[in-house]
Amino acid sequence: MSVDRLLSQLKMVKQTGIGRWKAQCPAHEDRSPSLSIRELDDGRTLIHCFAECNTPDILAAIGMEMSDLFPDRKGNHLSPERRPFPAADVLRCIAFEALVVVTSAATQLAGEPFTDNDRKRLMLAAARIQAAMDMAGVRDG
């Protein structure tokens, strides 16, 4: 299931971040949004009511079931897109390689010549930054 189906059944939906929303909970008299919705990278949808309504009651109020919070099955197994590295690890890699780039720029600005090893390391940093972006699913342009 796509999170869009769930969101279309809710009132006062507001996006609060990438893959995150809040809305009025349909399981109780909700004057302001108390339902938190999050779509995970693997297609699962998480919901939580801060007024402590349980998930089956929330879903029943809008004609849905627990299975609707999970991606459609293809064959006998789930086939979500999986990223091999956590985002924090990707950011750490990019931060370190960016430090290499900044150090190289400072060296050049100071008028110091680059050695062949300096050039190779700078090219490696650029390649690793691009690889990290690819692993994170970031597209150029």
- 74: in domain: no
Task: Choose the final residue of a domain: 69, 104, 123.
Answer: 69
pTM, 2 dp: 0.52
**95 and 65, same structural domain?**
no
How far is 128 from 11, CA to CA, in rounded Å? Answer: 44
How far is 120 from 50, CA to CA, in rounded Å? Answer: 53
**62 and 112, same structural domain?**
no
- 127: in domain: yes
Range of the domain at 109: 87-135
What pLDDT shows up at residue 133?
78
Decide if 119 contacts 104 (C-beta within 8 A): no
Q: How many domains does the chain have?
A: 2
Residue ranges in the chain whose pLDDT is less than 50: 75-80
**101 and 61, same structural domain?**
no
What pLDDT shows up at residue 83?
52
